[in-house]
Structure 1
Amino acid sequence: MRQHLRRRKGRNMSIYGRKVRLRALEPDDIPHLHRWANDPAIWRLLGGWQFPSSEMSTRTWLDGLATDRQNQRFGIERIEDGLLLGTANLVSIDWKNGTAFHGMMLGASEIRGKGYGLDAVMAVMRYAFDELRLERLDGDIIEYNDASHRLYVGKCGWREEGRQRGWHFREGRRWDKILVGVTRQDYADLIAESDYWAGG
Protein backbone atom coordinates (compact mmCIF):
# COMPACT_ATOMS: atom_id res chain seq x y z
CA MET A 1 0.00 0.00 0.00
CA ARG A 2 1.57 3.28 -1.05
CA GLN A 3 1.97 6.09 1.46
CA HIS A 4 -0.76 8.26 -0.07
CA LEU A 5 -3.39 5.56 0.60
CA ARG A 6 -3.94 5.32 4.33
CA ARG A 7 -6.60 4.10 6.71
CA ARG A 8 -8.18 6.72 8.91
CA LYS A 9 -8.58 5.74 12.52
CA GLY A 10 -11.93 4.02 12.89
CA ARG A 11 -12.94 4.66 9.28
CA ASN A 12 -12.30 3.42 5.77
CA MET A 13 -9.25 3.95 3.64
CA SER A 14 -8.62 7.48 2.37
CA ILE A 15 -6.72 8.89 -0.60
CA TYR A 16 -4.44 11.70 0.55
CA GLY A 17 -3.36 14.88 -1.14
CA ARG A 18 -1.38 17.59 0.60
CA LYS A 19 -4.38 19.57 1.87
CA VAL A 20 -7.31 17.21 1.38
CA ARG A 21 -8.18 13.57 1.61
CA LEU A 22 -10.67 11.76 -0.58
CA ARG A 23 -12.84 9.31 1.31
CA ALA A 24 -16.04 7.36 0.95
CA LEU A 25 -19.23 9.34 1.32
CA GLU A 26 -21.05 8.54 4.56
CA PRO A 27 -24.63 8.99 5.85
CA ASP A 28 -23.40 11.89 8.00
CA ASP A 29 -22.68 13.75 4.74
CA ILE A 30 -26.31 13.73 3.58
CA PRO A 31 -27.20 17.22 4.90
CA HIS A 32 -24.27 18.74 2.97
CA LEU A 33 -24.97 16.72 -0.17
CA HIS A 34 -28.66 17.62 -0.07
CA ARG A 35 -27.93 21.33 0.36
CA TRP A 36 -25.40 21.36 -2.49
CA ALA A 37 -27.75 19.38 -4.75
CA ASN A 38 -30.26 22.23 -4.45
CA ASP A 39 -27.84 25.15 -4.81
CA PRO A 40 -28.34 26.85 -8.22
CA ALA A 41 -24.97 28.64 -7.98
CA ILE A 42 -23.18 25.29 -7.80
CA TRP A 43 -25.16 23.63 -10.59
CA ARG A 44 -24.64 26.60 -12.89
CA LEU A 45 -20.96 25.59 -13.04
CA LEU A 46 -21.54 21.89 -13.67
CA GLY A 47 -22.37 20.18 -16.91
CA GLY A 48 -25.40 18.16 -15.91
CA TRP A 49 -28.99 19.24 -15.39
CA GLN A 50 -30.50 19.21 -11.95
CA PHE A 51 -34.02 19.28 -10.62
CA PRO A 52 -34.94 20.11 -7.00
CA SER A 53 -34.20 16.99 -4.96
CA SER A 54 -35.36 15.73 -1.59
CA GLU A 55 -33.21 14.48 1.25
CA MET A 56 -34.72 11.04 0.64
CA SER A 57 -33.50 11.02 -2.98
CA THR A 58 -30.01 12.01 -1.77
CA ARG A 59 -30.08 9.12 0.71
CA THR A 60 -31.25 6.68 -2.00
CA TRP A 61 -28.45 7.86 -4.31
CA LEU A 62 -25.87 7.41 -1.55
CA ASP A 63 -27.16 3.92 -0.71
CA GLY A 64 -26.68 2.92 -4.35
CA LEU A 65 -22.97 3.75 -4.30
CA ALA A 66 -22.02 0.84 -2.06
CA THR A 67 -22.09 -1.81 -4.80
CA ASP A 68 -21.13 0.34 -7.82
CA ARG A 69 -17.56 -0.48 -8.86
CA GLN A 70 -17.67 1.29 -12.22
CA ASN A 71 -18.54 4.64 -10.65
CA GLN A 72 -16.51 5.80 -7.66
CA ARG A 73 -17.50 8.97 -5.79
CA PHE A 74 -15.53 10.53 -2.96
CA GLY A 75 -16.00 13.19 -0.35
CA ILE A 76 -13.31 15.88 -0.42
CA GLU A 77 -12.36 16.47 3.20
CA ARG A 78 -9.96 19.11 4.53
CA ILE A 79 -7.17 17.32 6.40
CA GLU A 80 -6.71 19.95 9.08
CA ASP A 81 -10.22 19.78 10.51
CA GLY A 82 -12.26 17.16 8.62
CA LEU A 83 -14.54 19.74 6.96
CA LEU A 84 -16.36 18.30 3.94
CA LEU A 85 -15.55 20.62 1.02
CA GLY A 86 -17.24 18.87 -1.89
CA THR A 87 -17.17 15.72 -3.97
CA ALA A 88 -14.97 14.20 -6.67
CA ASN A 89 -15.53 11.18 -8.87
CA LEU A 90 -14.09 8.59 -11.20
CA VAL A 91 -17.05 7.27 -13.19
CA SER A 92 -17.66 5.14 -16.29
CA ILE A 93 -14.45 3.27 -15.48
CA ASP A 94 -13.41 1.14 -18.44
CA TRP A 95 -10.95 -1.40 -17.06
CA LYS A 96 -10.16 -2.90 -20.47
CA ASN A 97 -9.12 0.38 -22.06
CA GLY A 98 -7.87 2.02 -18.87
CA THR A 99 -10.08 5.10 -18.98
CA ALA A 100 -12.51 6.93 -16.71
CA PHE A 101 -14.47 10.17 -16.56
CA HIS A 102 -13.62 12.61 -13.78
CA GLY A 103 -15.61 15.47 -12.30
CA MET A 104 -15.45 17.55 -9.14
CA MET A 105 -17.74 19.84 -7.18
CA LEU A 106 -16.64 22.21 -4.43
CA GLY A 107 -19.69 23.01 -2.35
CA ALA A 108 -18.39 25.62 0.09
CA SER A 109 -17.82 28.84 -1.87
CA GLU A 110 -15.67 30.37 0.84
CA ILE A 111 -12.95 27.75 0.37
CA ARG A 112 -12.56 28.23 -3.38
CA GLY A 113 -9.32 29.74 -4.64
CA LYS A 114 -7.28 28.34 -1.73
CA GLY A 115 -5.71 25.35 -3.45
CA TYR A 116 -8.14 22.68 -2.26
CA GLY A 117 -9.52 22.01 -5.72
CA LEU A 118 -6.01 21.76 -7.15
CA ASP A 119 -5.00 19.31 -4.45
CA ALA A 120 -8.14 17.22 -4.97
CA VAL A 121 -7.51 16.90 -8.72
CA MET A 122 -3.87 16.01 -8.10
CA ALA A 123 -4.91 13.33 -5.59
CA VAL A 124 -7.48 11.91 -8.03
CA MET A 125 -4.86 11.72 -10.78
CA ARG A 126 -2.27 10.08 -8.54
CA TYR A 127 -4.81 7.48 -7.44
CA ALA A 128 -6.08 6.89 -10.99
CA PHE A 129 -2.67 6.57 -12.62
CA ASP A 130 -0.46 5.15 -9.85
CA GLU A 131 -2.92 2.86 -8.07
CA LEU A 132 -5.62 1.93 -10.58
CA ARG A 133 -3.13 1.99 -13.47
CA LEU A 134 -5.55 3.82 -15.73
CA GLU A 135 -4.18 5.33 -18.93
CA ARG A 136 -6.30 8.45 -19.27
CA LEU A 137 -9.05 10.52 -17.69
CA ASP A 138 -11.70 12.50 -19.52
CA GLY A 139 -13.80 15.44 -18.42
CA ASP A 140 -15.81 18.35 -19.74
CA ILE A 141 -16.25 22.00 -18.80
CA ILE A 142 -19.09 24.34 -19.63
CA GLU A 143 -17.78 27.21 -21.77
CA TYR A 144 -18.19 30.00 -19.22
CA ASN A 145 -16.59 28.11 -16.30
CA ASP A 146 -13.26 29.90 -16.55
CA ALA A 147 -12.16 28.81 -13.07
CA SER A 148 -12.41 25.12 -13.96
CA HIS A 149 -10.58 25.69 -17.25
CA ARG A 150 -7.75 27.48 -15.44
CA LEU A 151 -7.55 24.68 -12.89
CA TYR A 152 -7.58 21.67 -15.18
CA VAL A 153 -5.88 23.01 -18.30
CA GLY A 154 -3.78 25.77 -16.73
CA LYS A 155 -2.53 23.99 -13.60
CA CYS A 156 -3.21 20.25 -13.68
CA GLY A 157 -1.83 19.23 -17.06
CA TRP A 158 -5.13 18.49 -18.78
CA ARG A 159 -5.54 19.40 -22.44
CA GLU A 160 -8.46 20.80 -24.35
CA GLU A 161 -9.30 18.10 -26.89
CA GLY A 162 -12.37 19.47 -28.61
CA ARG A 163 -15.69 21.25 -28.31
CA GLN A 164 -19.27 20.29 -28.78
CA ARG A 165 -20.76 23.51 -30.03
CA GLY A 166 -23.90 24.81 -28.37
CA TRP A 167 -24.28 21.66 -26.26
CA HIS A 168 -25.54 23.44 -23.11
CA PHE A 169 -28.58 25.68 -22.86
CA ARG A 170 -28.25 28.04 -19.93
CA GLU A 171 -29.48 31.54 -19.17
CA GLY A 172 -31.32 31.89 -22.45
CA ARG A 173 -28.48 30.96 -24.81
CA ARG A 174 -26.31 28.08 -26.03
CA TRP A 175 -22.83 27.36 -24.63
CA ASP A 176 -20.12 24.99 -25.85
CA LYS A 177 -19.10 21.88 -23.96
CA ILE A 178 -15.29 21.88 -23.76
CA LEU A 179 -13.85 18.36 -23.83
CA VAL A 180 -10.68 17.91 -21.78
CA GLY A 181 -8.44 14.96 -21.04
CA VAL A 182 -5.20 13.94 -19.36
CA THR A 183 -3.03 10.89 -19.94
CA ARG A 184 -0.73 9.00 -17.63
CA GLN A 185 2.21 10.58 -19.50
CA ASP A 186 0.76 14.09 -19.13
CA TYR A 187 0.56 13.50 -15.39
CA ALA A 188 4.11 12.13 -15.23
CA ASP A 189 5.38 15.19 -17.11
CA LEU A 190 3.49 17.52 -14.77
CA ILE A 191 4.97 15.86 -11.67
CA ALA A 192 8.47 15.91 -13.13
CA GLU A 193 8.13 19.63 -13.86
CA SER A 194 6.34 20.75 -10.69
CA ASP A 195 7.59 18.19 -8.13
CA TYR A 196 4.15 18.56 -6.60
CA TRP A 197 4.41 15.61 -4.23
CA ALA A 198 7.86 16.46 -2.86
CA GLY A 199 7.75 15.80 0.87
CA GLY A 200 4.13 14.64 0.77
Structure 2
Amino acid sequence: MLKKFCSFLTIFIVSALMLSTVSFSYQKNGANILDNDFIYSMDTKPTAKQFLVTITRPEKDESKCKRSYVICGVSEEKEPEDIVVKLLIYDKETKSYIDFPDVEGNTSWDLGKYGILIKEIEFPQDGINKIRIVAYKKSPGKVQKPLIGENLQISDYTLNVMKEDLTEKIKNGIIKITDFFKGIFK
Protein backbone atom coordinates (compact mmCIF):
# COMPACT_ATOMS: atom_id res chain seq x y z
CA MET A 1 0.00 0.00 0.00
CA LEU A 2 2.80 2.37 0.91
CA LYS A 3 4.58 1.46 -2.34
CA LYS A 4 1.46 2.34 -4.41
CA PHE A 5 1.01 5.59 -2.54
CA CYS A 6 4.65 6.60 -3.07
CA SER A 7 4.51 5.77 -6.78
CA PHE A 8 1.24 7.70 -7.16
CA LEU A 9 2.70 10.68 -5.30
CA THR A 10 5.84 10.58 -7.46
CA ILE A 11 3.81 10.48 -10.67
CA PHE A 12 1.62 13.32 -9.41
CA ILE A 13 4.61 15.54 -8.53
CA VAL A 14 6.40 14.85 -11.81
CA SER A 15 3.20 15.58 -13.78
CA ALA A 16 2.62 18.80 -11.88
CA LEU A 17 6.19 19.93 -12.54
CA MET A 18 5.91 19.10 -16.23
CA LEU A 19 2.62 20.95 -16.61
CA SER A 20 3.88 24.00 -14.78
CA THR A 21 7.03 24.03 -16.91
CA VAL A 22 4.94 23.92 -20.09
CA SER A 23 2.46 26.55 -18.95
CA PHE A 24 5.09 29.01 -17.70
CA SER A 25 7.72 28.50 -20.38
CA TYR A 26 5.77 30.37 -23.08
CA GLN A 27 7.40 33.71 -23.69
CA LYS A 28 6.12 36.20 -26.19
CA ASN A 29 8.95 36.90 -28.62
CA GLY A 30 7.86 40.40 -29.54
CA ALA A 31 5.68 43.02 -28.02
CA ASN A 32 2.48 43.96 -29.81
CA ILE A 33 3.16 47.53 -30.86
CA LEU A 34 -0.32 47.94 -32.29
CA ASP A 35 -2.20 48.65 -29.08
CA ASN A 36 -2.54 52.20 -30.41
CA ASP A 37 -5.85 53.15 -31.99
CA PHE A 38 -4.35 55.18 -34.84
CA ILE A 39 -4.13 52.17 -37.20
CA TYR A 40 -7.93 51.90 -37.02
CA SER A 41 -8.50 55.56 -37.82
CA MET A 42 -9.65 56.61 -41.27
CA ASP A 43 -7.41 59.69 -40.88
CA THR A 44 -4.23 57.56 -40.82
CA LYS A 45 -2.68 57.60 -44.27
CA PRO A 46 -1.01 54.55 -45.85
CA THR A 47 2.75 54.42 -46.24
CA ALA A 48 4.14 55.62 -49.55
CA LYS A 49 5.99 52.39 -50.25
CA GLN A 50 5.78 48.81 -49.09
CA PHE A 51 9.06 48.17 -47.30
CA LEU A 52 8.24 45.32 -44.89
CA VAL A 53 5.83 43.22 -46.98
CA THR A 54 5.11 43.61 -50.67
CA ILE A 55 1.41 42.89 -51.15
CA THR A 56 1.05 41.06 -54.46
CA ARG A 57 -2.70 40.58 -54.26
CA PRO A 58 -4.71 42.77 -54.33
CA GLU A 59 -2.89 44.78 -56.96
CA LYS A 60 -3.80 48.39 -56.27
CA ASP A 61 -7.59 48.75 -56.26
CA GLU A 62 -9.32 45.91 -58.08
CA SER A 63 -12.51 46.81 -59.85
CA LYS A 64 -14.13 43.38 -59.60
CA CYS A 65 -13.61 40.37 -57.38
CA LYS A 66 -15.60 37.52 -55.87
CA ARG A 67 -16.78 37.32 -52.28
CA SER A 68 -14.09 34.73 -51.51
CA TYR A 69 -10.68 36.28 -52.03
CA VAL A 70 -7.03 35.39 -51.38
CA ILE A 71 -4.60 38.01 -50.07
CA CYS A 72 -0.94 37.40 -50.94
CA GLY A 73 2.33 39.03 -50.04
CA VAL A 74 6.04 38.43 -49.61
CA SER A 75 8.47 39.88 -47.08
CA GLU A 76 11.18 42.34 -48.03
CA GLU A 77 13.13 41.69 -44.82
CA LYS A 78 16.08 39.33 -44.27
CA GLU A 79 14.45 38.07 -41.05
CA PRO A 80 10.75 37.78 -41.92
CA GLU A 81 9.91 35.85 -38.73
CA ASP A 82 9.95 39.21 -36.90
CA ILE A 83 7.10 40.60 -39.03
CA VAL A 84 3.41 40.44 -38.17
CA VAL A 85 0.63 41.23 -40.66
CA LYS A 86 -2.78 42.42 -39.47
CA LEU A 87 -5.94 42.72 -41.57
CA LEU A 88 -8.63 45.39 -41.06
CA ILE A 89 -11.85 46.27 -42.88
CA TYR A 90 -13.68 49.61 -42.94
CA ASP A 91 -16.85 49.70 -40.85
CA LYS A 92 -19.41 52.26 -42.02
CA GLU A 93 -21.17 52.41 -38.65
CA THR A 94 -18.10 53.35 -36.61
CA LYS A 95 -16.44 55.18 -39.54
CA SER A 96 -13.16 53.45 -38.75
CA TYR A 97 -11.37 50.20 -39.51
CA ILE A 98 -12.04 47.09 -37.43
CA ASP A 99 -10.29 43.72 -37.20
CA PHE A 100 -11.15 41.50 -40.18
CA PRO A 101 -10.70 37.75 -39.68
CA ASP A 102 -9.72 35.32 -42.42
CA VAL A 103 -11.77 32.16 -43.04
CA GLU A 104 -10.00 30.50 -40.07
CA GLY A 105 -10.92 33.35 -37.71
CA ASN A 106 -7.46 34.94 -37.37
CA THR A 107 -6.88 38.68 -37.80
CA SER A 108 -3.07 38.73 -37.60
CA TRP A 109 -0.28 36.38 -38.62
CA ASP A 110 3.46 35.99 -38.12
CA LEU A 111 5.10 35.72 -41.52
CA GLY A 112 7.42 32.96 -40.38
CA LYS A 113 10.71 31.74 -41.74
CA TYR A 114 9.85 31.99 -45.44
CA GLY A 115 8.16 35.39 -45.32
CA ILE A 116 5.13 34.46 -47.41
CA LEU A 117 1.57 35.61 -46.74
CA ILE A 118 -1.35 33.73 -48.31
CA LYS A 119 -4.71 34.15 -46.55
CA GLU A 120 -8.23 33.50 -47.77
CA ILE A 121 -10.90 35.96 -46.69
CA GLU A 122 -14.65 36.11 -47.18
CA PHE A 123 -16.03 39.62 -47.71
CA PRO A 124 -19.08 40.38 -45.57
CA GLN A 125 -20.99 42.26 -48.27
CA ASP A 126 -21.31 42.80 -52.00
CA GLY A 127 -20.21 46.13 -53.41
CA ILE A 128 -17.36 48.32 -52.19
CA ASN A 129 -15.16 46.90 -49.41
CA LYS A 130 -12.21 48.88 -48.04
CA ILE A 131 -9.47 46.83 -46.42
CA ARG A 132 -6.28 47.84 -44.65
CA ILE A 133 -3.23 45.57 -44.42
CA VAL A 134 -0.88 46.55 -41.60
CA ALA A 135 2.61 45.06 -41.30
CA TYR A 136 4.93 45.72 -38.39
CA LYS A 137 8.12 44.45 -36.81
CA LYS A 138 7.94 42.78 -33.43
CA SER A 139 10.27 44.30 -30.89
CA PRO A 140 12.22 41.82 -28.76
CA GLY A 141 11.06 42.10 -25.16
CA LYS A 142 10.04 45.76 -25.11
CA VAL A 143 7.21 47.90 -26.35
CA GLN A 144 8.39 49.92 -29.30
CA LYS A 145 6.81 53.13 -30.49
CA PRO A 146 5.20 52.51 -33.90
CA LEU A 147 6.66 54.77 -36.55
CA ILE A 148 4.90 54.74 -39.91
CA GLY A 149 7.47 54.16 -42.61
CA GLU A 150 10.09 52.80 -40.20
CA ASN A 151 8.71 49.79 -38.32
CA LEU A 152 5.08 50.05 -39.41
CA GLN A 153 3.64 49.71 -42.92
CA ILE A 154 0.02 50.49 -43.78
CA SER A 155 -1.56 49.64 -47.15
CA ASP A 156 -5.18 50.50 -48.07
CA TYR A 157 -7.20 48.83 -50.84
CA THR A 158 -10.70 49.24 -52.22
CA LEU A 159 -12.25 46.10 -53.69
CA ASN A 160 -15.58 45.84 -55.50
CA VAL A 161 -17.23 42.52 -54.70
CA MET A 162 -19.53 41.49 -57.51
CA LYS A 163 -22.87 39.90 -56.78
CA GLU A 164 -22.89 36.28 -57.91
CA ASP A 165 -25.79 35.78 -60.30
CA LEU A 166 -27.79 32.58 -60.80
CA THR A 167 -25.91 31.43 -63.92
CA GLU A 168 -22.58 31.80 -62.09
CA LYS A 169 -23.91 29.74 -59.17
CA ILE A 170 -25.06 27.00 -61.56
CA LYS A 171 -21.67 26.95 -63.34
CA ASN A 172 -19.81 26.73 -60.03
CA GLY A 173 -22.11 23.93 -58.86
CA ILE A 174 -21.56 21.92 -62.05
CA ILE A 175 -17.79 22.39 -61.81
CA LYS A 176 -17.79 21.20 -58.20
CA ILE A 177 -19.88 18.13 -59.11
CA THR A 178 -17.62 17.20 -62.05
CA ASP A 179 -14.50 17.67 -59.89
CA PHE A 180 -16.06 15.42 -57.26
CA PHE A 181 -16.70 12.63 -59.79
CA LYS A 182 -13.23 13.04 -61.32
CA GLY A 183 -11.77 12.52 -57.86
CA ILE A 184 -13.78 9.34 -57.36
CA PHE A 185 -12.94 7.73 -60.70
CA LYS A 186 -9.18 8.42 -60.75
Which is helix-richer, 1 or 2?
A: 1
Query: By the TM > 0.5 criterion, same fold?
Result: no
| Structure showing greater Rg | 2
Larger relative contact order (C-alpha < 8 A, sep ≥ 6)? 2
TM-score normalised per structure 1: 0.24
